[in-house]
Structure 1
């Protein structure tokens, strides 16, 4: 059974899968717009209400979160938890709260009922507006490649959006069901980011987790679309593992993660070569970086903030890549390529890169997808990669490009 409590007991360790039948899917079924839902490979969280928010201010967000958790404890909460999202731009306001009540359960992947299919999306006449148009996006990629050949920078991640407008407000709980049941071993989330706005998605990428003194980061970079044909799907996976362009892109990200994490660790382990992970729509090159925390007062959120943004979602060098993004993308990323997750007063937590996501507001869904651009990039291929990444959400709402 899932647990219901005013404070978050047992959030520093994975939930026990022994009583998993219906525990995690029950929380998924109970989600309503305005709640905060987060499913990870270790647990499922469903938060109701707001006991207090983490205020915006000049202090680092991790310090502000620690202060809010300390205040909640001083008011008698034995194990408060902060849950929510941070935007791509580090000086923009976050959407972090300590909930009034938190229900916890085991991971969705432990729950046999997650294999039951979600209801098919209803037939909706979505009006689809790309921003920018695919041809304009490809020109932006080509411009970035030209600048890289001139030596200005080595990588930038360029994104585009799809704005879907329907006849009524989108059914966020139903979309969450489809996302969660399609990739139950990933990181599925839905939470408010402002009045009338809900951020939801299914990310494959762990920025950092902390459990006691154990740190884990799982950077992803280098991708290829899945195929419905098994033989072709295997061929694409094998080709990705041998792609010089993708291996270089991946190595840049892993090196950046290693460099940031190392000062926080008394020991750190980085595999020599990446492996593969898959979602329902994509293959990704993946490296799991593990470390032993040297200083117990450092929280998972502090390390996540230091890592953010990695070259996997921004580029390198970071300041110049940010500038190229601002000059090229005709929209504000908001919480896309930010961070979503949870943290407790002991510093434990799981913080995930906010990709494969959309934001719902009124009758509109805004979908986001990006691609890592390096000097070997082909504009048409990067445009096709973003189209493949959109499939996660397009499938969840029954829309097509």
Structure 2
């Protein structure tokens, strides 16, 4: 356990008007959770907790409850994301050897609408913790911007733990198990590895993702980077929200009818597909069933909407729920993340059966891919997305990219393989790599 966390949060009007937080994404070791111009950007490390195994969520939540309860933070702003807070990422599987983690940044810049703030945190009992010290600490981190990089002819993309042939075989095997009635949906993933001639410019990658995918949540936590379109759970003022995606259509190689718009094509082929709507409904039912015990009322779209992203269209539904009042405190965002993970959108249904089959067929440890990534604060507010459309930086010049697809009855190996390439595209473009 670290020493007592101390700190200060002050209003921060010095944010750039146009770029929002993007100008702060300038160091490769940055921590971030950014959507459009708002979000959180952190520097340094005041405290860290790591854990593995089935108890990873509970252990992390217990550590954070203790640290945040003892914290002495002068909060002159108030509201979600202010005061003591931590970024985190968690392994997808309880059997994974990958370390799940919470990281308390030393310096944090936040932006929510027209409200900006600066937080300075330390476990050093002798640290000066006033507004001047906070500004000086931020200035120190901003002095050394990380260099960008340009593509080199020797940069390459190589097969990962799961080859294309292996993936086709896994999909075919999964479809057979679905046809036998063992489960209704299975999500299978694969990986590819980017090997570059010079160090990965993580900050540059994050900026590229944040600009191109403004409707997604761009995340950077300790080498896990990406831009997810899916919100696992958000908690603010005792209201929980989620964005569920299932059903995907590649925006390349479209087959539009004469005179048909992009939006009309997506609506016809995606929203009009019985297979895609079936897969989407499984994901919605999975989330709401797991969330229901914690809520007093819940609402969701009666019909999914088509979410337009630069690389794909998705069927999407937004869910909101009022957390039930009880004798004790309402569940925190981290506790709810444990309750709803994994959803059918990234695992399958029933989730226990699907999880076991993933371990049998997939042939790799997903690590943090498809696990929760985001942040929590001392009041239990937080946002936890699903770590999709991302990569793990394994060394200065090597990153592992992941992508997965929902398999249902009628799925074909070739179509699912093509969908993984569509989902790799955001990270490949941000790394300036080509197939």
| Residue deviations 1:259-309 (CA, integer Å, cap 9, x gap) | 111111111112221111121101000011111111352111111111101
1:167-246 correspondence to structure 2 within 5 Å: 167-192=197-222, 198-227=223-252, 231=260, 233-234=262-263, 235-246=265-276
User: d(CA) in 1 for partners of 2:105 and 2:299?
Assistant: 35
| Residue deviations 1:196-235 (CA, integer Å, cap 9, x gap) | xx11001000011011022111110010111387957331
User: d(CA) in 2 for partners of 1:134 and 1:237?
Assistant: 30
2:311 corresponds to which of 281, 288, 293? 281
TM-score when normalising by structure 1: 0.86
1:127 aligns with 2:156: yes
User: d(CA) in 2 for partners of 1:60 and 1:136?
Assistant: 30
2:291 corresponds to which of 261, 279, 291? 261
2:93 corresponds to which of 83, 89, 93? 89
Tell whether the 8 Å contact from 1:178 to 1:396 is kept in structure 2 after alignment.
yes
1:51 corresponds to which of 46, 49, 54? 46
1:65 corresponds to which of 61, 64, 73? 61
- Going from structure 1 to structure 2, the CA distance change for 1:168 and 1:152 (only over 3 Å counts) comes to same
**1:105 Cα offset (Å):** 2.2
**1:166 Cα offset (Å):** 1.5
2:18 corresponds to which of 21, 27, 30? 21
**1:371 Cα offset (Å):** 0.3
RMSD: 2.7
1:144-155 correspondence to structure 2 within 5 Å: 144-155=174-185
**1:19 Cα offset (Å):** 7.4
Residue of structure 1 in register with 2:422 after alignment: 388
1:348 aligns with 2:381: yes
- Going from structure 1 to structure 2, the CA distance change for 1:19 and 1:360 (only over 3 Å counts) comes to closer
User: d(CA) in 2 for partners of 1:238 and 1:9?
Assistant: 50
User: d(CA) in 2 for partners of 1:220 and 1:347?
Assistant: 25
TM-score when normalising by structure 2: 0.80
Q: What SS does the corresponding residue of 1:23 show, helix, strand or coil?
A: coil
Residue of structure 2 in register with 1:305 after alignment: 338
Tell whether the 8 Å contact from 1:7 to 1:101 is kept in structure 2 after alignment.
no
User: d(CA) in 1 for partners of 2:50 and 2:64?
Assistant: 8
Unpaired stretches in structure 1, ≥5 consecutive residues: 111-118, 193-197
Tell whether the 8 Å contact from 2:20 to 2:37 is kept in structure 1 after alignment.
no
**1:136 Cα offset (Å):** 2.3
Tell whether the 8 Å contact from 1:6 to 1:101 is kept in structure 2 after alignment.
no
Structure showing greater radius of gyration is 2
Residue of structure 2 in register with 1:398 after alignment: 432
**1:124 Cα offset (Å):** 4.3
Unpaired stretches in structure 2, ≥5 consecutive residues: 1-5, 75-82, 117-147
User: d(CA) in 2 for partners of 1:309 and 1:9?
Assistant: 37
1:38 aligns with 2:38: no
**1:140 Cα offset (Å):** 1.1
1:324-343 correspondence to structure 2 within 5 Å: 324-343=357-376
**1:69 Cα offset (Å):** 4.5
| Residue deviations 1:75-96 (CA, integer Å, cap 9, x gap) | 4124210212111013653121
User: d(CA) in 2 for partners of 1:76 and 1:275?
Assistant: 44
1:313-332 correspondence to structure 2 within 5 Å: 313-332=346-365
- Going from structure 1 to structure 2, the CA distance change for 1:72 and 1:272 (only over 3 Å counts) comes to closer
**1:149 Cα offset (Å):** 0.7
Bigger CA drift: 71-80 or 362-371?
Answer: 71-80
User: d(CA) in 1 for partners of 2:215 and 2:421?
Assistant: 23
